[in-house]
Structure 1
Amino acid sequence: MAPVPILWLLLACGLLGLGLVGADVDGLLPAAVVALGLSLATVWWPLPPLLQLGLLVGLTAVGVLGLRRWSGRQRHRSLAPAETAEVISGFAEGDTGRVRWQGQSWSAVNLKGGQPLPPGSWVTVMGRAGNQLQVMEPGGD
């Protein structure tokens, strides 16, 4: 069986790999950072397995909550006109979904509610509120 630090390192690499291929899960990056830290910590200190798992869950939760709090404090940023984003998912049943903008996946709200936006279509980014983009179909002024 592989030593514990190597298992934590493999978990960290796997989580980072998921992030690189586009997995959109809250806590993915904080969990990868915590797993990397546990890999280093278990090299020097033999921590009990339950403590290791508790640290992974607890520190990941602290990281996610800290990132959400920081994101909520960010001011609204104005955007250059006519920026576009590609619809990834959602917008079929409701006014919210996900878009790919500037190479990253974003939560978005359709300003022209009731219009389905199929995946693969392009939308105009009209603004941003916190970590959610405000989009509408091109020509939907």
Structure 2
Amino acid sequence: MPAPPILWLALAALLLGLVLVGADSDGLLLIGGLAALVLTLAAALVPIVPPLPQVLLFAVLVGAGYAWLRRWSARRQARAIPPAARAELAEVTTGLEANGEGRVRWQGQSWAAQNLSAQALAPGSEVTVMGREGTRLQVLPRQVSLSE
């Protein structure tokens, strides 16, 4: 029995809803939601296709979309953040180990971040955004980065 288009639409709504609440870190949920929308249309237009090919097409769409997104992100050059006079602060949302990775809230959005210091950073602490490489911010603890 073919998978009804409503199942793909429900999956798309779930994945895109998670993106809206900030659960997406690398764009995978966004790509999955868009792929589910494409499958909604495909299942509605060609209802005789069995579920297994639909699931395989979904996997191919997500894989290809994610690979494209990663390639596109890698090609983008790192954007330099303005010098110290206009340094921007971010708030740690998930702990950052020394020289490790985590998440910060910067300009109202959640960002993946790389801790450039040898000091672990606890959630809620302020960091200075030093640069950006693709979709990952490079941060230092506020007291280490600049003299105020």
The two structures have a TM-score, normalised by structure 2, of 0.85
Q: Give the AA of the match of 2:7.
A: L
Structure 2: gaps (5+ residues): none
Tell me the residue number matched to 2:32.
Answer: 31
Q: How does 1:101-116 map to 2 (within 5 A)?
A: 101-113=106-118, 115-116=119-120
**1:118 aligned counterpart, secondary structure:** coil
Tell me the residue number matched to 1:45.
Answer: 46
Q: How does 1:44-63 map to 2 (within 5 A)?
A: 44-46=45-47, 47-63=49-65
Tell me the residue number matched to 1:97.
Answer: 102
* Aligned mate of 2:78, from 60, 72, 76: 76
Aligned residues: 138
Give the deviation of 1:12 after TM superposition: 0.4
Q: Distance in 2 between matches of 1:104 and 1:30?
A: 19
Tell me the residue number matched to 1:122.
Answer: 126
Root-mean-square deviation (Å): 1.6
Tell me the residue number matched to 2:135.
Answer: 131
Give the deviation of 1:53 after TM superposition: 0.4
Give the deviation of 1:104 after TM superposition: 2.5
Give the deviation of 1:139 after TM superposition: 2.1
Give the deviation of 1:11 after TM superposition: 0.8
Q: Give the AA of the match of 2:21.
A: V
Q: Give the AA of the match of 2:126.
A: W
Q: Distance in 2 between matches of 1:25 and 1:131?
A: 9
Structure 1: gaps (5+ residues): none
Q: Distance in 2 between matches of 1:105 and 1:111?
A: 18
Tell me the residue number matched to 1:85.
Answer: 90
Taking structure 1 as reference, are residues 126 and 93 closer, same or farther at Cα in structure 2, changes over 3 Å only? closer
Percent identity of paired positions between Structure 1 and Structure 2: 53
- Confirm or deny: 8 A CA contact 2:81 2:130 kept in the other structure: yes
Give the deviation of 1:25 after TM superposition: 4.8
Q: Give the AA of the match of 1:38.
A: L
Q: Distance in 1 between matches of 2:64 and 2:98?
A: 33
